[in-house]
């Protein structure tokens, strides 16, 4: 699980990578600093992870080291390091409504959503009662402002993306999520019935990964959402991890493809959902 030490390690790894680029170019740290117009200690601070490099720093570094082909990847890595770990408590300090509102621009500009859920029903497919139960638990456990009703309203409004524009949604859910009672049996029955209905939307592809299926490469992992090929948001117990480094985004893409391959769709998926409803009695 990411922590402050994880971020420090990532900064040092980026610094080591920049150091290797500098050494490959044949420049000393002092020579590079002179060419870039920096104080001679700046290169050392960056290479040891004590000072995070700005986009401009990376552009200058790669320019003087003849490694401009690495600019895009290095900048993406640096941004990921600085934005990779945001504690849930800090996000939720201003209330759950603010958290829900903060992702609206991302949802609007994304065209292809890929969602894998190993914990709960994906937010875009939730009923208001189910969302209320989920966020109510979050508010209690994390001691955040109790604006659950407002937060639920924002999330329900966000679901209009399912019906507008050219958005496409590939949703994968572990079968045990269908069997996990959130709220109570009535809430779950309504949620599962809604899941069957929303799966019929032209924009939605719903896959259920059956319990007992031979996993192969598709091991259960942390819940995550891919926004086009630009960003992945990962849900952890204590934090929200944002991934933008292209190579890491591709890894999540491969994981999603592997999980998709063992999921069932259409009538087979509906059978699993119906069985979960029947198990509620």
Tell me the pLDDT tens digit for each residue of 34-78: 999 999 899 999 999 888 899 999 999 999 999 999 999 999 888
Q: Which fold has domain 4-83?
A: 434 Repressor (Amino-terminal Domain) (1.10.260)
| 186/139 Cα distance (integer angstroms) | 22
Q: Which fold has domain 86-279?
A: Endonuclease; Chain A (3.30.870)
| 226/243 Cα distance (integer angstroms) | 9
- Looking at the chain, the domain(s) classified CATH 1.10.260.40 span 4-83
Q: How, if at all, do strands 112-117 and 168-174 pair?
A: parallel
Above 80 in pLDDT, residue 161?
yes
Pull the structure tokens for residue 70: 């690495």
Name the residue among 236, 2, 252, 239 with its Cα closest to residue 119.
236
- Looking at the chain, the domain(s) classified CATH 3.30.870.10 span 86-279
pTM for this entry: 0.69
pLDDT of residue 145: 60
pLDDT of residue 233: 87
pLDDT (mean) for 16-32:
95
| 165/275 Cα distance (integer angstroms) | 33
Instruction: Provide the b/e sequence for 245-263 (b: ≥16 CB within 10 Å).
Output: beeebeebeebbeebbebb
Q: Which residue has the higher pLDDT, 12 or 139?
A: 12
Q: How, if at all, do strands 112-117 and 85-87 pair?
A: unpaired
pLDDT of residue 243: 81
pLDDT (mean) for 156-168:
88
Tell me the pLDDT tens digit for each residue of 220-246: 888 999 999 998 988 766 566 778 878
Sign of CA dihedral 134, 137, 143, 146: positive
Pull the structure tokens for residue 82: 């600085």
Above 70 in pLDDT, residue 137?
yes
Above 90 in pLDDT, residue 263?
yes
| 42/29 Cα distance (integer angstroms) | 9
**Cα separation values, 17 from 62, 79, 264, Å:** 11, 15, 42
pLDDT of residue 152: 81
Vertex 61: Cα angle to 57 and 62 (nearest 5): 120
Name the residue among 167, 171, 135 with its Cα closest to residue 151.
135
Pull the structure tokens for residue 128: 């208001």
| 121/124 Cα distance (integer angstroms) | 8
Q: What's the chain look like in SS3?
A: CCCHHHHHHHHHHHHHHHHHHHHHHCCCHHHHHHHHCCCCCHHHHHHCCCCCCCHHHHHHHHHHHCCHHHHHHHHHHHHHHHHCEEEHHHHHCCCHHHHHHHCHHHHHHCCEEEEEECCCCCHHHCCHHHHHHHHHHHHHHHCCCCCHHHHHHHHHHHHHHHCCCCCEEEEEEEHHHHHCCCCCHHHHHHHHHHHHHHCCCCCEEEEEECCCCCCCCCCCCCCEEEECCCEEEEECCCEEEEECCHHHHHHHHHHHHHHHHCCECHHHHHHHHHHHHHHCC
């Amino acid at each position: 699980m990411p922590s402050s030490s994880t971020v420090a390690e990532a900064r040092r790894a980026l610094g080591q990578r920049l150091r290797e680029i500098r050494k490959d170019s044949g420049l000393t740290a002092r020579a590079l600093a002179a060419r870039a117009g920096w104080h001679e200690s700046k290169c050392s601070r960056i290479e040891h992870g004590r000072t995070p490099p700005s986009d401009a720093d990376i552009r200058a570094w790669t320019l003087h080291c003849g490694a401009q082909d690495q600019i895009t990847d290095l900048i993406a890595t640096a941004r990921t390091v600085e934005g990779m770990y945001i504690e849930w408590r800090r996000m939720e300090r201003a209330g759950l409504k603010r958290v829900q509102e903060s992702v609206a621009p991302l949802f609007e500009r994304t065209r292809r959503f890929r969602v894998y859920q190993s914990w709960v029903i994906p937010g875009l497919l939730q009923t208001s009662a189910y969302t209320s139960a989920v966020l109510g638990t979050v508010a209690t456990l994390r001691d955040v402002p109790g604006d659950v009703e407002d937060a639920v309203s924002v999330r329900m409004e966000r679901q209009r993306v399912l019906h507008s524009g050219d958005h496409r949604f590939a949703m994968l859910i572990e079968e045990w999520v269908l069997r996990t009672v959130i709220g109570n049996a009535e809430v779950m029955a309504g949620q599962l019935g809604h899941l069957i209905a929303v799966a019929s939307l032209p924009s939605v592809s719903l896959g259920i990964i059956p319990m007992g299926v031979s996993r192969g490469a598709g091991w259960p992992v942390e819940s995550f959402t891919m926004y086009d090929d630009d960003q992945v948001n990962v849900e952890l117990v204590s934090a929200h991890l944002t991934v933008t480094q292209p190579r890491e985004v591709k890894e999540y893409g491969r994981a999603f493809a592997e999980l998709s391959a063992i999921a069932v769709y259409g009538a087979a998926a509906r059978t699993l959902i119906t069985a979960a409803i029947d198990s509620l009695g």
